[in-house]
Structure 1
């Protein structure tokens, strides 16, 4: 299981934009967000305003899903991660520092930072064989 997580983390470290899906139980919403991924907490850190539809949705329902994908037309090179988790207000100062170390220009906007604590990953990596899937689920004891 740990080896699977290492492969997923390696993929996520090479990218910086995720697609996020949220719902308020009536309507769905999707958006793209810059992220930094923290391997210690298995969390994305993102910036977003309280006025956005996705933040309004998570205030009613913090369960989210999303993707990070390598854009390619070459079938043999397809890679991507699907995830599910909980979208939470970020309180960890170390994670805030991590975000701003990757996106220092964001400091000028003084954004509100959020944490997406992951409980499920599915990595598709056709380089390992066509349709190869790697699954990781958070242990309920963590």
Structure 2
């Protein structure tokens, strides 16, 4: 649990992720501002469904991605790789999440894009502040690698 807490603390200080989706020999990545929920171990983001990545995802898909800072010194590098399931949140269920998202990113108030949840199944953090190449790894209890 301490590993997840350490990763969660860092994720709560960041705000942009990159996620990648694929299907039928097509791959695409997108960047997004995110809201992190440490209790659910999930990211929430806004994105249009008609984008290239939105069409690859449909209503639900497996995704992988990264969150990283941009330090100028190798000793300060920290970043997270993740794997999870992205799901379109029905608008009737999205109001509370949208409100929290707009508090963090006020510019989002003018966006009508739907809310998505990335339920994280795996997190791997590189944290050079703990020693060069130090890794912290978390796997959701009901997840098996390779499935």
| Same-fold call, TM cutoff 0.5 | yes
Gaps of 5+ in 1: none
Q: Which of the residues 120, 123, 142 maps onto 1:121?
A: 123
Tell me if the contact between 1:76 and 1:127 (Cα under 8 Å) persists in the aligned partners: yes
Q: Which of the residues 102, 108, 112 maps onto 2:114?
A: 112
Within 5 Å, give how 1:51-62 maps onto structure 2. Answer: 51-59=50-58, 62=61
Partners of 1:102 and 1:45 lie apart in 2 by 12
Q: Secondary structure at the match of 2:34?
A: strand
Cα deviation, residue 60, structure 1: 7.5
Which residue matches 1:37? Answer: 36
Tell me if the contact between 1:35 and 1:46 (Cα under 8 Å) persists in the aligned partners: yes
Which residue matches 1:95? Answer: 97
Tell me if the contact between 1:24 and 1:60 (Cα under 8 Å) persists in the aligned partners: no
Deviations 1:4-23 (A, max 9, x none): 00111111111110011110
Partners of 1:40 and 1:13 lie apart in 2 by 12
Cα deviation, residue 110, structure 1: 1.9
RMSD: 1.6
Deviations 1:51-109 (A, max 9, x none): 11111111186000000001123111010000000010123543232212212221222
Which residue matches 2:19? Answer: 20
Give the number of equivalent residue pairs. 140
Evaluate the alpha carbon distance shift between residue 103 and residue 60 of structure 1 in structure 2; reply closer, same or farther with a 3 A threshold.
Answer: closer
Partners of 1:69 and 1:105 lie apart in 2 by 22
Q: If the length of structure 2 is used for normalisation, what is the TM-score? A: 0.89
Which residue matches 1:71? Answer: 70
State which drifts further: 74-83 or 50-59.
50-59
Gaps of 5+ in 2: none
Tell me if the contact between 2:22 and 2:28 (Cα under 8 Å) persists in the aligned partners: yes
